[in-house]
């Protein structure tokens, strides 16, 4: 076996070698290197379609890797400081779900913040685990949930000493980080595992001036979105584990839900992107940081907008801040974040990451340049001048405390009925409701529906937020549990 160094890209090298062999394909995929689908070749190019191949001996097998995929995983583990790395082709949703399923079964408790991605709650539905929420503090000015305070986590552990794990967002969508090292110490000191959702923290591994990464903090597992800030193709991700996790067990869990036909386009993109970050990541993310800081300064100079950063740090619920996140509060120009999001796209041909009721996020990473940032700043200035209003009447609060009646799995599979939105007040929801992005549920299965939540949903719809989750496509009805007799406080 050839010696492994970070200059290598074993999967990509194997694909290049396969191309030179000119093998005649009598296997899948059926387009046969594109010959059967010329329109696809025209769209993607001959080289791309030619690399869309099936697992075979020279290319290894994602379900049980023993050669080039195994080598790529070892290189990724080394680059990210993990005991093991698993290449994921189902996005970070798949990585998060595999992480939860690896540590919890039906009835097990996991301590976590309520502002988690829908993939975490989806995993709860699949395995039957029970969430123990640490409700995050909220910044009233920005209307965003913050990180988990150490004292709140301590209280949750004291109240639920039988919990199996603690899950932490590192960072949140807005760039806010909890005191991850302290939470890891708490978890391990009470016999619990510590998991991290690092969908937006790939770059933490390649900088000395950004918040601590999950592996450096001592977490046992973390899901890392390589396709977000890491530069790989959409839907490719990594699941990293520490020494406490058994590789074989985690692999078996992954194989319960991940495809047996792993895309070599995605796998090779992970391989090449890992190599790029290992060799040039620190330099690249130093430039991203400088670009974000420049943009933040220019946006704040416009007036009305607030591009926030490390000045928010309070040593607890905002222990650190990811300065590459260009999060901007828009309420003082009299526009909801989603309205600015729509205006940037419709009027200025600028597509940002998301807009919620009070904020926008422009996602900066290794592919951004100064000229695009200047165009964004100029457009934001124009939006304020052309469309700005007074703040009166804008909803600012983004976080609503959940009232959990039953577990997500019980609620999701329970007998249910569909009711018009306003008739669901006081009932228990059996489906998800969320604005996407960011994909944090407003309602999750098993949570009681309140008038405040219904007000929020209607306001978000009116402002143009993209609402997803319910069976009803117009979000004018919700599925609720039909019968809660026998559940404490559940008479209906």
CB neighbour class for 245 (10 Å; exposed up to 12, middle 13-18, buried from 19): buried
Measured in residues, the chain has a length of: 492
d(CA 55, CA 61): 6
Domain ranges of the chain: 58-278, 281-387, 408-481
Q: Which residues contact 475 (CB under 8 A, 6 or more apart)?
A: 421, 433, 457, 461, 467
d(CA 290, CA 232): 22
According to CATH, the topology of domain 281-387 is 3.90.1150
Q: Which residues contact 371 (CB under 8 A, 6 or more apart)?
A: none
**Could you report the average pLDDT of every consecutive run of 10 residues in the chain (492 residues)?**
84 93 87 91 92 91 96 98 98 96 97 90 94 86 90 97 98 95 98 97 97 98 96 97 97 95 96 98 97 98 97 96 97 94 97 92 95 98 95 65 88 94 94 78 91 89 83 91 60 39
d(CA 139, CA 306): 13
d(CA 20, CA 18): 5
CB neighbour class for 20 (10 Å; exposed up to 12, middle 13-18, buried from 19): exposed
Is 3.40.190.10 the CATH number for 408-481? no
> Domain 58-278, what architecture?
3-Layer(aba) Sandwich (3.40)
Q: Which pLDDT score, from 0 to 100, does residue 152 have?
A: 95
Q: Which pLDDT score, from 0 to 100, does residue 147 have?
A: 93
Strand-strand pairing, 193-198 and 441-443? unpaired
Q: Which pLDDT score, from 0 to 100, does residue 398 have?
A: 54
Alpha helices (H) along 51-134: 68-80, 91-103, 118-127
Place of tokens 């009835």: 107
Greatest Cα-to-Cα distance within the chain, rounded to the nearest angstrom? 69
d(CA 308, CA 306): 6
Q: Which pLDDT score, from 0 to 100, does residue 397 have?
A: 54
pTM over 0.75: yes
* DSSP-assigned letter for residue 56: B
């Amino acid at each position: 076996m050839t010696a492994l160094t970070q200059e290598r890209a074993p999967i990509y090298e194997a694909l290049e070698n396969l191309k030179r062999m000119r093998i005649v394909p009598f296997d899948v995929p059926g387009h046969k290197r594109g010959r059967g689908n010329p329109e696809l070749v025209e769209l993607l190019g001959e080289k791309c379609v030619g690399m869309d191949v099936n697992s075979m001996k020279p290319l290894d097998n994602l379900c049980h890797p023993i050669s080039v995929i195994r080598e790529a995983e070892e290189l990724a583990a080394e680059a990210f400081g993990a005991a093991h790395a698993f290449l994921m082709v189902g996005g970070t949703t798949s990585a998060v779900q595999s992480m939860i399923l690896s540590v919890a079964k039906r009835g097990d408790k996991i301590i976590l913040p309520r502002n988690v991605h829908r993939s975490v709650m989806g995993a709860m539905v699949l395995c039957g685990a029970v969430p123990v929420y640490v409700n995050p503090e909220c910044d009233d000015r920005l209307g965003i949930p913050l990180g988990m305070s150490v004292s709140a986590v301590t209280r949750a552990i004291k109240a639920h000493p039988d919990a199996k794990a603690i899950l932490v967002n590192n960072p949140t969508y807005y760039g806010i980080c909890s005191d991850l090292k302290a939470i890891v110490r708490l978890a391990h000191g009470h016999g619990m595992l510590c998991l991290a959702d690092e969908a937006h923290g790939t770059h933490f591994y390649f900088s000395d001036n950004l918040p601590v990464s999950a592996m450096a903090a001592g977490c046992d597992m973390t899901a890392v979105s390589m396709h977000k800030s890491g530069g790989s193709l959409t839907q490719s991700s990594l699941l990293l584990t520490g020494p406490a996790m058994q590789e074989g067990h985690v692999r078996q869990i992954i194989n319960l839900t991940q495809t047996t036909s792993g895309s070599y386009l995605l796998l090779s993109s992970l391989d090449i992107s890992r190599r790029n970050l290992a060799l040039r990541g620190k330099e690249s993310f130093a430039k991203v940081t400088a670009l974000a800081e420049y943009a933040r300064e220019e946006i704040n100079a416009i007036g009305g907008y607030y591009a926030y950063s490390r000045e928010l740090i309070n040593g607890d619920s905002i222990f650190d801040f990811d300065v590459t996140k260009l999060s901007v509060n828009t309420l003082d120009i009299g526009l909801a974040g989603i309205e600015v999001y729509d205006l940037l796209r419709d009027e200025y041909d600028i597509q940002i990451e998301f807009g919620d009721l009070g904020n926008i996020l422009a996602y900066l990473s290794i592919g951004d340049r100064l000229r695009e940032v200047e165009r964004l700043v100029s457009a934001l200035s124009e939006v304020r001048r052309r469309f700005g209003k007074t703040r009166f009447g804008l909803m600012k609060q983004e976080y609503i405390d959940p009232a959990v009646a039953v577990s997500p799995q019980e609620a999701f599979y329970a007998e249910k009925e569909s009711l018009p939105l306003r008739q669901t007040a006081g009932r228990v929801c059996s489906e998800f409701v969320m604005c996407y992005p960011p994909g944090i549920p407003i309602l999750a299965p098993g949570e009681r529906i309140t008038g405040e939540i219904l007000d929020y949903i209607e306001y978000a719809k009116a402002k143009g937020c993209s609402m997803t989750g319910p069976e009803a496509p117009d979000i004018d009805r919700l599925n609720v549990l039909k019968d809660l007799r026998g559940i404490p406080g559940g008479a209906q």
